[in-house]
Structure 1
Amino acid sequence: MTIQARGVVWRAGGRPIIDEIALDVVEHEFLGIVGPNGSGKTSLMALMSGLRAPHAGTVALAGRSLRHFTRREIARRIAFVEQQAETAERITARQAVELGRTPHLSALSPWQAKDDDIVDTALAEVGMASFAGRRWHTLSGGERQRLHIARALAQQPEILFLDEPTNHLDIHHQLGLLDLVRSRRLTVVAALHDLNHAAMFCDRIAVLDQGRLVALGAPRDVLTETMLADVFRVDAAVEADGNGNCLVRYARPGTVKEKCLQ
């Protein structure tokens, strides 16, 4: 399923946070959204996932405006893993993941054995099956983050939005979870801070700066030394390999950067 933003604007405090963005997300692609803090990454994803309505412009799923979908219809198609998602409920890890099945349940479609299987699979995929009976408040930040992703997978969406999904995770779980969502037949949109993660896992990268889309394309085309200097204000060398992949190597402030390896 595709998702399109056309001339999207969102304001806060009288100033534009998202300013005239047009962006198409292709079915089954992994799109990374990068940019400095305050560039509008979270706000754009909230607009494109239907959590917020734009002040101007439109967002459409497969050509149909989100305004014409009910909340349940959107939730059956789109899952959103927030950066700072929390719950005050005294529930177990498994119950937190079971919440992902809510959009699919109704009086005519109660909980069934297949729902148990979906939850079991999601827990196993994020390495949390052995934690199923643990109470939420006893879990670490990283464990909770893995459960949020499991909840989103249990939702069985067609489009998955991830806002800084690797927060609180060690490097093993960062790479493992990005590889997991990459391997699923999903359309994935992820706000990422680590540009090397974006280069490794994303088909395309969208760069935001002060609420505007300033670059969009394959990682090797977007992650240039000029862009890193102009948008992120860092000195870095971008190394390219023979397979078209790239790696960003940052220079310590005040030092001469390394030359790009050929």
Structure 2
Amino acid sequence: MMISARNLHWVSGKKTILRNVSLDVQPGEFLGIVGPNGSGKSSLLALLAGLRAPASGEIMLEGVPLNRLSRRSLAQRLALVEQQADTSEQISGRQAVELGRTPYLSALAPWSSHHHEVVQNALCDVGMDALAERRWHTLSGGEKQRLHIARALAQQPRLLLLDEPTNHLDIGHQLALLDLVKRKPMTVVAALHDLSHAAMFCDRLAVMDHGELVALGPPGQILTEGLLRRIFNVQAEIEPARHGSGLNIRYLRPDTNAPCVLSNVQMAV
């Protein structure tokens, strides 16, 4: 599924959060959105998911304006896993994943064995089938995160939007999750913090800074020592990975004698 953004602006209060963001995400592509904290990554995902309306600009889903689609129709096409999501409801892990089938249920289309099979497959995909009957409040942060991913997979979306999906996960589950969504037959747009993971799994990277899209292209072309120094304010040495795709990024210790620049950081959410 293709999604396109044209000249997106978004304002919160009197502050401009996103400025003139345009991009096309091709069917089956894994696009990573990277940038410093507060650069606008989460805001861009919220607009692409239809949770917020841009102040100006347009989002097209396979050529159809996003705002012309009903919530039900949209939920049958795309799924979003937010950075902070929780519930106080007394539900089990399985019931949380079953919520992903809601867009397909109606009086004429009640719960069936097909829905149960889809949910079970999603639980198995994220390795949570053995813990599916546990109550939500007894699960760890990482286990809840894996269930959020399973709920999104249970929607059977053609477009999956992920906001920092590896939060709370140990390194093994981080790699397994990104490999899982990489192998799924769908388009993926994910905001990622770990640049090494972004280089390993993403087809292209969109670099955000101060609410603007400042670079877009393959990881090997985008992630340069100059860009990391300019956008992330870090010194690094970068070389191609010896095995498979990806880059080896070796960060250098900060220069403790350098002047403090944190007070000059502009924040966007």
Please classify the TM superposition score into its range, dividing by the shorter chain length: over 0.9
Which secondary structure state, in structure 2, belongs to the residue aligned with residue 168 of structure 1? coil
Aligned equivalent of 1:181: 181
Alignment of 1:104-115 (within 5 A): 104-115=104-115
- Give matches, 1:60-99, under 5 Å: 60-99=60-99
Once the two structures are superposed, residues 207-226 of structure 1 have per-residue CA deviations (whole angstroms, 9 ceiling, x without a partner) of: 00000000000000000011
The residue number in structure 1 matching 2:265 is none
1:67 partner amino acid: N
Question: More displaced, 246-255 or 170-179?
Answer: 246-255
Partner of 2:202: 202
Paired AA for residue 179 in structure 1: D
TM-score, normalising length from structure 2? Answer: 0.93
Classify the secondary structure of the residue corresponding to 2:76: helix
Partners in 2 of 1:116 and 1:174 — Cα distance?
26
- RMSD of aligned Cα (Å): 1.1
Q: Distance in 2 between matches of 1:10 and 1:254?
A: 36
- Taking a change above 3 Å as real, the CA distance of residues 244 and 194 of structure 1, as seen in their structure-2 partners, is closer
Give the C-alpha shift of residue 254 in structure 1: 2.2
What residue in structure 2 maps to residue 166 of structure 1?
166
Deviation of residue 108 (structure 1)? 1.1
For the residue of structure 2 that corresponds to 1:178, the secondary structure is: helix
Supply the distance in 2 between the matched residues of 1:245 and 1:133 (Cα, whole angstroms).
Answer: 38
Shift in Å at residue 83 of structure 1?
A: 0.6
Q: 1:251 and 2:252 equivalent?
A: yes
Does the Cα contact within 8 Å between 2:196 and 2:246 map onto a contact in 1?
no
Alignment pair present for 1:236 and 2:236: yes
Task: Letter of the 2:145 partner, please give it.
Answer: Q
Would you say the 8 A contact 1:220–1:244 is kept in 2?
no
In structure 2, how many angstroms separate the alpha carbons of the residues matched to 1:16 and 1:77? 29
Percent of matched pairs sharing the same residue:
60
Displaced runs of 4 or more, over 3 A: 241-245
- Does the CA contact (< 8 Å) of 2:201 and 2:246 recur in 1? no
2:148 corresponds to = 148
Q: Which runs of 5+ in 1 are unaligned?
A: 256-262
- TM-superposed CA distance for 1:244, in Å, is 6.4
C-alpha separation in 2, matches of 1:110 and 1:168: 35
Aligned equivalent of 1:126: 126
Counterpart CA distance in 2 for 1:251 and 1:32 is 24
Alignment of 1:8-47 (within 5 A): 8-47=8-47
Between Structure 1 and Structure 2, how many residues are aligned? 255
1:40, distance to aligned residue in structure 2 (A): 0.2
User: Counterparts of 2:40 and 2:13 in 1: how far apart (Å)?
Assistant: 14
What TM-score does the superposition give when structure 1 sets the normalisation length? Answer: 0.95
Name the CA distance, whole Å, in 2 between partners of 1:174 and 1:247.
17
- Give SS of 2:86's match: coil
Matching residue's letter, 1:184: K
Hey, what's the Cα distance between the residues in 2 that align with 1:103 and 1:209?
35
Partners of 1:240 and 1:135 lie apart in 2 by 44
Distance 1:223 1:179 in 2: 20
Q: What is the DSSP-based 3-state SS (H/G/I as helix, E as strand, rest coil) of the residue aligned with 1:234?
A: coil
Residue aligned with 1:18, SS: strand
Which position in structure 2 is the counterpart of 1:51?
A: 51
Structure 2 unaligned spans of 5+:
257-269
Q: Is the 8 A contact 1:163 1:192 kept in 2?
A: yes
Question: Alpha-carbon deviation of 1:2?
Answer: 0.2
Which residue identity lines up with residue 164 of structure 2 in the other structure?
E
